[in-house]
Chain A
Amino acid sequence: MRDFKQYLISLIVLTGLVSGYVFYRYADGYPFPIGAQFDPDVRDKYRHILNEEDPQILVLGDSMVETNVDKHSLAEGSGKRVSLIFEGGAGSAMLYLILKNNIANADSKPDTMIVLFRDTVLTSTAFRVHGNFLAMIDEFAGADDELVLELAIRDRMNPVEKLAEAYFPPYWARSNLQTILFSRVLYLPTRTLLDCNLECADQAMNKVFGNQNFDPDQFNRAINLAENFLYTDENLDFEKQINRSFLPEIIRLCRDNNIKLILLRTKTLRFSREVPEPSALNEYMDDLNSYARRNDVPLIDFAHSDRLPPSLFTDINHLNSDGKKVFSEMLIEAIGPILNP
C-alpha cells in the first residue's frame, strides 16, 4: 500500500518534470496536435526531372519500378518518351504525395501514368507510414497535407492513443525524447571511441545492412513478415478500405490534370503451391477491378503470369535483369491496346 502510494507520487513528480521539459522545448500550444506533423518544406526533385525529361509515359512506384521496368525498352516498344519515378519502400501515402506535390505541379505532366503496385498496397493506407518511413514521407509532404495524416495515421489510432497524444506531454513528445536518448546516450560510445556521429552511424547501418548482404532465405522471410500487414483481414476488405485510402484522390488528381492513369499489378513470390493465395485476396482483386472499371481506369494484372517464373526473381518481390526484360515486354504488349485503342 505504502509502496504503491510512493510509486504514484514519484510517477506524478517525474511526469510533471518531463512535461515541463516538453512544454519548454517542443510545445506550441495545448492540447497537442494529434499524430505527426509535417514540416512545410516539400522536396520537388521529381518535378524537375519531369520538366527535364518531358515524358509521355511515367511509371510510378517503389523499388520494383527500378528492378522490373526497363525504361529504354519501354520507350522503344511504345514509341513514347518514358520516365520512371521510384522511391524504395514507398507505400500508397508516398505515391499520393509524389503525385500531388511533384507530378501534378510539373510544367511537363505525362500523358499517361502507370502506377505499379502489388496486391493491397493501393488501399493499405497505413502501410509504411511509421518510423523512418514517416521521415521519408515528410520530404514530399507540405504542412497542408492533412489528408495523409488523417487517413494514414489518425484514422488508425485508437481513442486512448488519441487522448494520450492530445493531453499527455511525455506521450506526445515520445519520439523527441527517444531521439534525445539515442543521440546523447546510446551513440555516445560510438561518437567517443570511433569518432562517428549520428549521420556516420546511419551510413554504417545502411552499408552493413544493405539488401545485398542478407542471406536470401532470411531476406525473403523478413520481407514476408514485414508485408503481412498487407494481408490482414482489415486490409483485404476492399469495400471498407477504399474510402479510407488514397486511391480515390489519386484517380481524381490524374483526371484533373489530364493524366491517363493505368494500374499495374506486379507478380510476387509470396504465394505458391505451398502457401496458396488467400481467397480474400481474389475477392479483393475482383472488387478493385470493378472499382477501376467504374472509374475508367485500366488495370493490368501480371500477378499470375507464367512468363515470370521464380527463376527471374532476385527475391520474392524484385526481378533480375532477365525478368526486367520479360516484364517490360509484357508491359509494352499490355499498354499497346490501351494507348492506341
Chain B
Amino acid sequence: MNFTSLTFWVFFALVFSTYWLLREHSWQNALLLFASYVFYAWLAPWYAVLLGVSTLTDFFLARQMKQQKDKAKTYLVLSLILNLGVLALFKYYNFFNTQVAEALTSIGLSADWLFINVLLPAGLSFYTLKKLAYMIDVSRGTLEPSDDLLSFALFVSFFPQIIAGPIDRYQKLIPQIEQKRVWQSSFFYSAWPLIVMGLFKKIVVADSIKPIVDRIFSLDEPSMVLVLAGTLGFTLEILADFSAYTDLSRGVAQLLGFNTSENFNRPYLSLTPTEFWNRWHITLSAWLRDYIFFPIRRALLRRKEPLPNWLLLSIPPLVTMFISGIWHGAGLTFMIWGIYYGVLIAGYQLIGLRGDWKPAGRLKTFFAWLIMFSLIAFGWLIFRAPSMTWLSNIFLHSEWTHGREDRIVASILLSRTILYSLPLVIKYLLDQYSPRGFIQPFYYAVLTLGVIIFIGSATSDFIYFQF
C-alpha cells in the first residue's frame, strides 16, 4: 500500500472519516495506532510483529532507565545492541550470507539454513533511528521516558512516517499526540498543495525518468555519455521520488492534524557539502549530527592531548558520513558514497568553506554552485552504480560514446531530465517571486492535470522504501 495507490487512499478515507468522528483524543490515538499497524502489516504481517516487539522492548527499557538511574547506561547499551543488531541482521544478512555459507561449507559444515532469504522490513531503518534518539535522550536525562504505551507506540509506528520518514523526534510528535485534536479547515488548506506536489513528483517526474535510468545502470559497458545522462537523470529521479514521499507523508499527517518536519529545502542549490546535508534528508542529517557528529567531536575536544586541527575537522564528518553510507545499504557503493561525502565535508572545512559560506558576487556564486552540483551528481553516480567494479570499468575502459545511437539515447534522457525538472524550477521561481496570488493555484492545477494524464494502474515503489 503506497501513497500513490488507490488502496491507500481508500484506506485513508476510512481512517480519516472515522478519526474525525471520534471526539476523544485517546480514541483517536487508538485508531491511529490500529491503522498504523494495519498499514504496516499490509506489506507483510510479520513486519508488524517485529515492530510491536521492538516497541515494547524499548518502552520498558526506557522506564527501567528512569527507575534504576545507576544502570541507565546498561539499559542503553542493551537497547543499542537490540536495535542495531536487528537492523544489522536484516540489512546486512543478505550481503554476507553467501560468503559465510561458503566459508562454512569449506570447513565441512552444512550451511543450508543460511540460505533462507531474509528480507529487510520496509521502514526498519527509519523507526529504529526514531527509537534510538528517544533512548539516547532518556539516558542523557534530557527527556522523561513515556509512561503511556499507546502514545509511545503511536510515535514509533505513525503510518505517514513509518516507511520512509521524516524521522521526527519524540519531542516533536508526542506533544501533538497527547493534545486534543479538533478538525480545522486549515489542516486541509495546508495539506492539499503538499499532496498535489507529491503526486506530481512521483507519478509524472520520478516514474517517467526511472525506466531509462534503470536501463542505463543495468548495461554491462555503457559509454561515458550514457553514464553522464543516466547520472543527471538519477539526480532528478531521487530528489523527485524521495521529496514526493515526504510531501505526501506530510500532507497526510497534516490532514490528521499533525505538523511533521520538512525533509528537503532545495538541496541542489547548495554551495557546500555541509549546506547540502543541511538541506537534503534534513531529519536524517539532524539525527546524525546530534547523535554521531557532536558526540565524536566532543570526545575529540575532551582529549587530554589535543589533536591537530585538521584531524579535529576531518574525523567527525568522516565517521558520521561513513555511518550514513552504511545506513543507506549494505554494499561497497554505499560505503564509498558515505566516505566520499565525509572527505568532501572535511575538505571544504579545511580550506575554510563552512556550511554558511557565501561567495561574493554572482559569478563566483554560480561557479561555487556548479562545482557543488557536479560533486552531488558524482555522489549519486557512486550511490546508483551497481558495483564499484562497474564504476571503475567505466572510468578506466569506457569510451566517450559507442556511436550515434548512444548520443541519441543520451539526448532523449537529457531532454526528459530537463523537461521534468522544469516544474520544480518553476516552483522555486514562484516561491521566490510570486508566493501569493493566482499563479500558484494555477500552477497546482496544471500539476493535477499532469497527474491525471500520467497516472497508471501500477506505480513503482518509492526508492527510499528499500533503505
| A residues apposed to B, CB below 8 Å | 1, 3-11, 13-15, 18, 130, 156-158, 160-161, 168, 170-171, 174, 177-178, 181, 185-190, 193-194, 196, 200-201, 203-205, 207-209, 213-219, 221-222, 273-275
Least CB distance, A125 to chain B, in whole angstroms: 14
Contact status B115-A186, CB under 8 Å: no
- When C-beta atoms are compared, the residue in chain A nearest to B446 turns out to be A14
Residue numbers in B under 8 Å from A174 (CB-CB): 452-455
User: Which of B193, B217, B412, B442 has a CB less than 8 Å from the CB of A187?
Assistant: B412
**How far does the alpha carbon of A172 sit from the alpha carbon of B440 in the complex, in Å?**
27
Query: What are 8 A-B pairs at a CB distance below 8 A?
Result: A4-B189, A5-B441, A170-B449, A171-B452, A174-B455, A189-B411, A189-B414, A215-B219
- Residue in B193, B406, B415, B446 with the greatest tally of chain A CB atoms within 10 Å: B415
Residue numbers in B under 8 Å from A201 (CB-CB): 408, 412
Counting from the closest, the 10 A-B pairs by CB-CB distance are: A10-B445, A6-B441, A218-B218, A7-B441, A204-B408, A204-B405, A11-B445, A215-B220, A10-B442, A207-B405
Residue numbers in A under 8 Å from B193 (CB-CB): 3
Q: Tell me whether B252 is interfacial, beta carbon within 8 Å.
A: no
| B residues apposed to A, CB below 8 Å | 6, 112, 115, 117, 185, 188-189, 192-193, 214-215, 217-221, 226, 386, 390, 404-409, 411-412, 414-416, 419, 438, 440-442, 444-446, 448-449, 452-457
User: Which of A1, A14, A130, A194 has a CB less than 8 Å from the CB of B407?
Assistant: A194
Residue numbers in B under 8 Å from A13 (CB-CB): 445
Given that A6-B441, A160-B6, A185-B419 are known contacts, is A170 also in contact with B189, CB under 8 Å in the complex? no
**How far does the alpha carbon of A7 sit from the alpha carbon of B196 in the complex, in Å?**
11
**How far does the alpha carbon of A185 sit from the alpha carbon of B221 in the complex, in Å?**
30
- Residue in A5, A174, A221 with the greatest tally of chain B CB atoms within 10 Å: A174
Least CB distance, A50 to chain B, in whole angstroms: 36
Residue numbers in B under 8 Å from A186 (CB-CB): 412, 415-416, 419
Given contacts A190-B411, A207-B405, A219-B218, 4 further A-B contacts (CB under 8 A): A1-B185, A171-B453, A213-B221, A218-B219
Least CB distance, B270 to chain A, in whole angstroms: 28
User: Which of B117, B218, B219 has a CB less than 8 Å from the CB of A275?
Assistant: B117
Least CB distance, B278 to chain A, in whole angstroms: 29
Contact status A205-B409, CB under 8 Å: yes
**How far does the alpha carbon of A217 sit from the alpha carbon of B153 in the complex, in Å?**
41
Least CB distance, B463 to chain A, in whole angstroms: 14
Residue numbers in B under 8 Å from A216 (CB-CB): 220
**How far does the alpha carbon of A161 sit from the alpha carbon of B217 in the complex, in Å?**
33
- When C-beta atoms are compared, the residue in chain B nearest to A221 turns out to be B218
**How far does the alpha carbon of A194 sit from the alpha carbon of B219 in the complex, in Å?**
23
- When C-beta atoms are compared, the residue in chain A nearest to B390 turns out to be A215
Residue numbers in B under 8 Å from A178 (CB-CB): 453-454
Residue numbers in B under 8 Å from A185 (CB-CB): 419
Least CB distance, A254 to chain B, in whole angstroms: 32
Residue numbers in A under 8 Å from B455 (CB-CB): 171, 174
Least CB distance, A159 to chain B, in whole angstroms: 10
- When C-beta atoms are compared, the residue in chain A nearest to B458 turns out to be A130
- When C-beta atoms are compared, the residue in chain A nearest to B456 turns out to be A130
User: Which of B185, B217, B411 has a CB less than 8 Å from the CB of A193?
Assistant: B411
User: Which of A3, A209, A275 has a CB less than 8 Å from the CB of B441?
Assistant: A3
Contact status A18-B408, CB under 8 Å: no
- When C-beta atoms are compared, the residue in chain B nearest to A216 turns out to be B220
Contact status A208-B185, CB under 8 Å: no
**How far does the alpha carbon of A158 sit from the alpha carbon of B457 in the complex, in Å?**
9
User: Which of A196, A204, A205, A214 has a CB less than 8 Å from the CB of B220?
Assistant: A214
Residue numbers in A under 8 Å from B386 (CB-CB): 215, 217-218
- When C-beta atoms are compared, the residue in chain B nearest to A185 turns out to be B419
**How far does the alpha carbon of A201 sit from the alpha carbon of B6 in the complex, in Å?**
34
